[in-house]
Amino acid sequence: MEEHKHDHDKETEMIAIMSRSGMRITDQRRTLARIFSDTDAFLSPKDVYDLMRDKYPGVSFDTVYRNLRMLSEMGALEQFYFMEGGLKFKGSCISHHHHHLICLNCEKTLSFEYCPMDQQLKLPGSFKIVSHRFEVYGICDECQQTGEG
């Protein structure tokens, strides 16, 4: 299975999220959606900027970064922070609710369906939860076997 298959559903959903949030759907924003629907990898703001510059040589890093943050706040992208690699973005998993195990070495992501929020949480006060994310960082089986973690 090739890594760069284009996921039209993900691209369409990202554009729909932008539209619902009142964002103007420009060519550049369509390209951003396409970049994330073409890969399952984590992309740093610089990765995205380099990909955008191929098509839009005049685009500024600030514009790309601002759009990544806005798309993240809208729920179209997920943000992850890697100790070595810094902030990275990935297209949101929109089909269903799940959480991630993330390898710090190769950045492979494994989903797991179990949600820790289903347990009775003892939260302070009457805190109202609107949404949540849960990531577990570690070293995947393959990296452990090759001794790279």
Residue 140 assigned to a binding site: yes
Tally of helices (H runs) and strands (E runs) in the chain = 5, 5
Q: Is 103 helix (H, G, I), strand (E, B) or coil?
A: strand
Residue 93 assigned to a binding site: no
Residue 103 assigned to a binding site: yes
Query: Which residues, in sequence order, are CB contacts of 105 under 8 Å at separation 6+?
Result: 139, 140, 143, 148, 149
Tell me the residue ranges of DSSP E strands in the chain.
77-82, 86-91, 99-103, 109-112, 135-138
Query: Which residues, in sequence order, are CB contacts of 124 under 8 Å at separation 6+?
Result: none
- Binding-site sequence positions: 97, 103, 106, 132, 140, 143
Binding-site residues for Fe cation, in ranges, read 97, 132
Binding residue numbers for Zn(2+): 103, 106, 140, 143
